[in-house]
Amino acid sequence: MDTKIEKQLQYLVRETDALFADLEKYSEADLNRKPAPESWSAIQCLHHLILAEKYSVAYCKKKLGFEPKLKKAGWQSGLRRRFVNWYLASPLKFKAPKGLSTEYLPEHDTLENTKNTWSEARAEIKDFLEKLPAKYADKEVYKHPAGGRMSIPDMLNFFGGHFRHHRKQAYRALEGNK
C-alpha cells in the first residue's frame, strides 16, 4: 500500500477509535435519540458515515473491475477536493445522496453493533487499498457525488472531512438530548 494512503487510513482508524471510546459514556437511549424529528441521532450519523465509505469503495471496485483508462489526478482533482472540504466545513446543509439518507439509516442500533459494522467496512477498505495496483494510486478512480472525479488519496481525504463534519453533528445530537 502506498505510504500516503496508509497514513490516511491510519488517521481514519485512530479518529474512529477515539470517537467510539468517547461515545461509550453515553447511554444507548441517548445515542439513538433524535434531537428533532427530522434530525439524525448520533448512531444514525455514524451509520451514514459507514454507508458513505462502503459505497465509495464499492464504486471504486466496480470502476476498476473493467481496466478503465483513467486520467491522472491533477490540479482539477485537487480543486474538487478543496471544494468538498470547504462545503463539509461550512455551516451550509446539504441533502444526503440517495442511498445514504434517512430512509437507509437504522432507527435504533447499539454502539457495539455500529462499531462492529464499521470495523467490517474498514477491513474491506483496507483490503481494497492493499490490493490496489500502484498504477491507480494517482488516477481519478473515485467519483464524489458533488465533487466529481478524484484520486484514492482525495477519497480518503474526503472520508476525513466527512467524518469530522458528522462527528460534530453526532455530538450536537447528543447535546440536543439534554
* pLDDT the model gives residue 88: 81
* pLDDT the model gives residue 98: 77
Strands (E), the chain: 142-144, 148-150
* pLDDT the model gives residue 177: 57
Q: Which residues of the chain have pLDDT under 50?
A: none
Query: Which contiguous run of DSSP H or E holds residue 173?
Result: helix 152-176
Contact 173, 42 (CB under 8 A): yes
Contact 169, 103 (CB under 8 A): no
Contact 121, 54 (CB under 8 A): yes
Contact 33, 177 (CB under 8 A): yes
**Which residues pair with residue 148 across a beta bridge?**
144
Burial of 161 (0-12, 13-18, 19+ CB in 10 A): middle
At residue 30, φ and ψ (nearest 5 deg) are -65, -40
* pLDDT the model gives residue 115: 97
Collapse the DSSP code of 28 into the 3-class scheme (helix H, G, I; strand E, B; otherwise coil) and give the result: helix
The 10s digit of each residue's pLDDT in 130-172 is: 999 989 989 999 998 888 899 999 999 999 999 999 999 999 9
What's the CA angle centered on 105, arms 172 and 109, to 5 degrees?
75
Rg (CA), the chain: 16
The residue extents of the domains of the chain are 3-17+40-176
